[in-house]
Every structure is written in structure tokens, then in C-alpha cells.
Amino acid sequence: MLQKDFIIPKKIFSKEYESLTGNSKILYAYLCYLENELGKGFEKPLDQMAEDLSVSRKTITRSRKQLSDAGLINYESKHINFHAFTTYTIKYL
């Protein structure tokens, strides 16, 4: 199966973002990939992201907050019928 190319802004690896953890940078790259595959404003379950990246839910939650605090992503969670849905938007550098 052919995969589409996607862009990870190299600025994420610059001194400006050196305070981000490695996990946060990996999550940012993964979210860039997902936006490329699923489109802007995509939804992805937290458990699935943790499984895909072989990390805990807590790691995803901490990394997601770091990225949001750095202004690199926006996310909004909604609860519908006992299910959580989180919508993500990537801010490209």
C-alpha cells in the first residue's frame, strides 16, 4: 500500500522548542501524519494514539498539553453518551 508524504516542520527540532520532551515531538509528528491522512479537525481516540505510539495514555495527555501550551496544536474534547471525542487541529510552524 502506498503512503502519502506528509510534512513535519523541522522547526520543531530548533532551540525554540528545546523545552518540549521527545515524546511531545513524536506526538506532534504523529498528529501531523494523522492530519494529512484524516484531514483538518480530525478525531482520534486517546487509547488508539497511545497504542499506536506504544506509550501510556498519561504520556499522550502530558505531551498533548505541552504541545497545546506551546501553541502547536488545538484540541477540544466532547463527551457524548459516555464516549469522549477529541478533535485536533495542527498549527504548522
Dump pLDDT digits (tens) for 26-83. Answer: 999 999 999 888 888 898 888 999 999 999 999 999 999 999 999 999 999 888 777 7
Selected residue with higher pLDDT from 2 and 64: 64
pTM as predicted = 0.86
Apex CA 65: angle with CA 59 and CA 21, to 5°? 60
Measured in degrees and rounded to the nearest 5, phi and psi for residue 20 equal: -70, 140
From the list 42, 18, 15, 31, the residue with the least C-alpha distance to 92 is: 31
Does 43 reside within a domain? yes
CATH label of the domain that carries residue 53: 1.10.10.10
| Domain of 27, in residue numbers | 20-90
Evaluate whether residue 27 is within a structural domain: yes
What does the H/E/C string look like for 1-37? CCCCCCCCCHHHHCHHHCCCCHHHHHHHHHHHHHHHH
For residue 77, being part of any structural domain is answered with yes
